[in-house]
Structure 1
Amino acid sequence: MTDPVLSLKGISKRYGKLEVLKNVSLDVHAGEVVALLGENGAGKSTLSGIIAGSRAPSEGSMAWLGQDYAPASPREAIDKGVVLIHQELKLLPELSIAENVFIGRWPMKNGVVDRAQMVRRAQEQLSRLNLHIPATRKVGGLSTANQQLIEIAKALALNAKLLILDEPTAALGGVETEALFEQVRKLRSEGVGIIYISHRMDEIKRITDRIVVLRDGERVQDFADSATPVRTIVESMVGRSLDRLFPPVPDPTSKTVLKVDGLTSVDGAFNDVSFEVKAGEIFGIAGLIGAGRTELVRAIAGADPVRSGTVTLDGEQLALKSPNDAIAKGIVMVPEDRKDQGLVVSHRIGENIVYANLDKMGSRWLMPAMKRRFADAAIKAFGVKGRSDQLASDLSGGNQQKVVIAKWLTRNPRVVVLDEPTRGIDVGARAGIYDIIVGLAKSGVAVIVVSSDLEEILGVSNRIMVLAQGRQTGILNRSEANDVSVMELATQ
């Protein structure tokens, strides 16, 4: 094999006393796709950030095309040909698609921005991804899936020599994913090296050449063949035998906690939806992208207004004008977008947990020791890999999600709504989220789970309601729900 385009030797990273990477070495060659796997908190994003210039290693060295490589910023890395596509979107909504694709490196003509060339080149990259949207359109208002494809189009326009894809399909549907895979294969054939981070094992087996596994910040396993059995890969990630992914789902009680009757949105996202959730029941909501699932649960949680219909909790009809109204009644929601809607990422973990529980603290004056004890108890209870004084922005996506869950579950709610609870979370960490969900049901909480992952929705739900284009097309019992029956209803 030829010399690697990128070579890492003994990379370590510490935040104070917390060591998140420990002596990691890695080579990536031209024209290969290397899967980088590990549980959330294993160090994948930190290592990617070091390669892409957004973080500096505490120890170790890197080489790029045989020369010393220590980028002081993402701009320096991009200039070398190293591009990171983040899991979290970083587009500017008020700018056009073309402006986002070429921001900071505008094509110029006679001293001014050549907008015609910029739009033409951006449109070419969108076409490569089968995204047929005018490049002159503003990014604001586009779906998450389309915004993710625009992030990928930015990288394609950079003519990268090394591309790092961090959970690139987390927000994509099947058609968009296939278009991305087509481009990955094309880039590989052109000699581009690719580091591919994903929690979706079917993708790893389809698109990657070899697999590198991190656990607790260390490189613990290499698999030269991506055809290695999934169970073997996952067990190396979690460091234990994986007996099961989904825990046994308990039977609910006969008591109705939440009743939704004829709920209709103000903008047509969903119409005339009715269902009940029992105490101790996990009620799944399935459907394709654009079916109205998120809009429905946001309305139930008081975040969006409705045109008609009712929400009843424990026999009391609610008049929800805001999320605060729902929270006060005992309905909490873990949103799909944890960074923008679930956390203040620039604040500390402990502060995020306390913010959601100020009325539960029992005192007008919050002493630092009181806040720390409260936050530490929640961190321990929900397995967050972090300290209360650590910034939420320093956490992996999975641990950020656990913080969002922890801050709401410490309120002992009656209804918990989880919208895409394991989006961007690896297989090992997902098992911990499922344990939390089932534990809530066992304690008598009514749980609603929205998920695009069919295996997940089938694995954790007592019943599944399917939406298609805002319409309720059916509710399936666990015994009759399978991938075929759900998809038949989702495509009506």
Structure 2
Amino acid sequence: MSVDTTAPAAVIEAVNISKSFGPVPVLFSVSMDVRPGEVHALIGENGAGKSTLMKILSGFHDPTSGQIRLDGKQTDLPANGGAEKLGVVLIHQELNLAEQMTVEENVFLGREIKSNGFLDKAAMQATVRKYLDEIGLDISPTDRISDLTIAQKQMVEIVKAVSRNARILIMDEPTAVLTEEETQVFFRQVEKLKESGVGIVFVSHKLNEVKEIADRVTILRDGQWIDTRASSDLTPDMMAQMMVGRELSDLYPPMHEADVDAELVLEVQNLRAPSVDNVSFSLRKGEILGFSGLIGSGRTAVFETICGLAPFEAGTIRLFGRDTGPMTVAQARDLGLAYLTKDRKEKGLLLDKKMRPNLTLFALPKFVRNFGLDSKAEEDALNRAIRRFDVRARDKEITVGKLSGGNQQKLLLAKIMECDPKIVIIDEPTRGIDVGTKQQIYHFIAALAAEGVSVVVISSEMPEIIGICHRVVVMREGHITGVLTGDHINENEIMRYAAGLKREELH
């Protein structure tokens, strides 16, 4: 790595860091530094070693070899969050909030302000209100975390970290659940942190955001340092190619033409449920149907209602020409309908269990023999899934929580497909995964549709909605505002319907 002698001295440095877990090496002599007042992006495919390097930089892992230097001096960072006392704060990708406590209580947890031996609630609430106002988050310090949206919870994590007077702020996918508007508010806060001299490590798979916010970019691949460059010298396409080591011009697969006369496999009429108001649409065999809209538009609520995961109030659901009415998850599965949740860590997978029980749980009746589980059939299914979905793990006996995000997503896909569904609903198929794995998932979705499986893609990523869907349904505030086909599937049209600037007369 070349040294810029005109740049300010690094506040933290990783020098020739290597890390092994048991006999398995995951980082190979990686070096990276962060300067005061800069955003240094760290990018790479899932499994490239980003999370391990972040945890070493913040004291949650010890390196096997190499050094961490703070202000130029070799330092052994305190473990388990103790590095915060030195000004090194890590915002984890997984939310780390006490759900039953208030915003103020979470921000000051473990470092409460006291007056005369008692908690000074007024002072803490006033301080939190100041941070909330600065970040543009319209909630109260007294709101309970469990009552907030996922996006609001992520912003509270950011407030919590900012309030700790960080010198180095390490952020793991901080915008993954934020809307474009919320992301821009967040970036304005990042600029304020830069102006105050905070050094920021920004980890993201959204390469356009990396280009926008980062001063420098470090690329990892397969645990090895590939390059560190000024963001101004890179395009998102160049970053993607360096991450995966190959061209990605075929990110979206060639799509077969949708058969407009194909069998109707799902018909929904006048569906009503919490957050869903009079929704009607249809899905044909072999079609990829996109659902777009801003966060809170009701996209997920529609399909959680259809699949038995949320209360059903009124309406008609027809599967393969048969009226079903409200269904349980098991009934939907047995009728050929499967839903892949957007929240793979909380609702999709058992992170403390191994891959095999995770794979077979949804299709468990398939593996029951004489009142017991056929472990050989389960093992055979796992071997097939690893090959089919390219699930990469150090060991088949690893717990799922130790897999990278992309491999967790591929395992979740394998789990859903194990019950051989005819209709697959995939909610946020590529949230928090790298560009190489995105490509694999897009090609898999296209292959499913070509085989006659019907796919619903619910996504906040407009390029993937445009890139892989035959038709796009746009929602706003629980209503469908438009159904787009052909050349009308473009960013401008989708945003106009999503923002309520246009609305079709739907029949």
Aligned equivalent of 1:449? 457
Aligned equivalent of 1:164? 170
1:291 pairs with 2:290: no
TM-score normalised by structure 2 residue count:
0.93
Superposition pairs of residues 60-459 of structure 1, within 5 angstroms: 60-253=66-259, 254-265=262-273, 267=274, 269-361=275-367, 363=369, 364-366=371-373, 368-386=375-393, 387-459=395-467
The 2-side partners of 1:72 and 1:361 are apart by 47
Residues 475 and 498, structure 2, Cα contact 8 Å, conserved in 1: yes
- Give 1:161 shift: 0.4
Aligned equivalent of 2:45? 39
The 1-side partners of 2:123 and 2:10 are apart by 35
Identity between Structure 1 and Structure 2 (%): 39
Residues 252 and 441, structure 1, Cα contact 8 Å, conserved in 2: no
Q: Deviations over 1:151-181 (max 9, x none)?
A: 0000110010001111111111122211111
What code does the residue aligned with 2:294 have? L
- Give 1:480 shift: 2.1
- Give 1:283 shift: 0.2
Give secondary structure in 2 for the equivalent of 1:448. strand
**Residue range with higher mean Cα deviation, 103-112 or 443-452:** 103-112
The 2-side partners of 1:429 and 1:238 are apart by 10
Residues 214 and 237, structure 1, Cα contact 8 Å, conserved in 2: yes
Give secondary structure in 1 for the equivalent of 2:234. coil
What code does the residue aligned with 1:155 have? A
Q: Deviations over 1:211-267 (max 9, x none)?
A: 1111111111222233412221111101112222111122234111111111111x3
Residues 320 and 326, structure 1, Cα contact 8 Å, conserved in 2: no
Residues 213 and 220, structure 1, Cα contact 8 Å, conserved in 2: yes
Residues 376 and 388, structure 1, Cα contact 8 Å, conserved in 2: no
Q: Deviations over 1:120-162 (max 9, x none)?
A: 1111111111012110111112111111100000011001000
Aligned equivalent of 2:3? none
The 1-side partners of 2:188 and 2:493 are apart by 30
Change (3 A) 1:320 1:41: farther
The 2-side partners of 1:18 and 1:410 are apart by 30
Cα RMSD after superposing both structures? 1.6
The 1-side partners of 2:116 and 2:59 are apart by 32
Residues 342 and 429, structure 2, Cα contact 8 Å, conserved in 1: yes
Q: Deviations over 1:399-458 (max 9, x none)?
A: 211111111112211111111111112222211111111111111111001111111111
Unmatched tracts of structure 2, length 5 or more? 1-6, 501-507
Give secondary structure in 2 for the equivalent of 1:272. strand
Residues 368 and 374, structure 2, Cα contact 8 Å, conserved in 1: no
**Residue range with higher mean Cα deviation, 245-254 or 13-22:** 13-22
Change (3 A) 1:311 1:70: farther
The 1-side partners of 2:307 and 2:46 are apart by 28
What code does the residue aligned with 1:374 have? A
Aligned equivalent of 1:487? 495
Give secondary structure in 2 for the equivalent of 1:180. helix
Residues 350 and 376, structure 1, Cα contact 8 Å, conserved in 2: no
1:473 to 465, 474, 481: 481
The 2-side partners of 1:49 and 1:467 are apart by 39
Number of residue pairs aligned between Structure 1 and Structure 2: 490
The 2-side partners of 1:53 and 1:349 are apart by 28
Residues 367 and 374, structure 2, Cα contact 8 Å, conserved in 1: no
- Give 1:290 shift: 1.3
What code does the residue aligned with 1:234 have? A
- Give 1:369 shift: 4.7
Change (3 A) 1:367 1:313: closer
What code does the residue aligned with 1:239 have? G
The 1-side partners of 2:409 and 2:171 are apart by 20
The 2-side partners of 1:289 and 1:212 are apart by 31
1:20 pairs with 2:35: no
Residues 211 and 226, structure 1, Cα contact 8 Å, conserved in 2: no
The 1-side partners of 2:307 and 2:388 are apart by 24
Give secondary structure in 1 for the equivalent of 2:242. helix
What code does the residue aligned with 2:392 have? K
Give secondary structure in 2 for the equivalent of 1:133. coil
What code does the residue aligned with 2:484 have? L
Residues 297 and 477, structure 2, Cα contact 8 Å, conserved in 1: yes
Aligned equivalent of 1:49? 55
Give secondary structure in 1 for the equivalent of 2:145. coil
Residues 464 and 478, structure 1, Cα contact 8 Å, conserved in 2: no
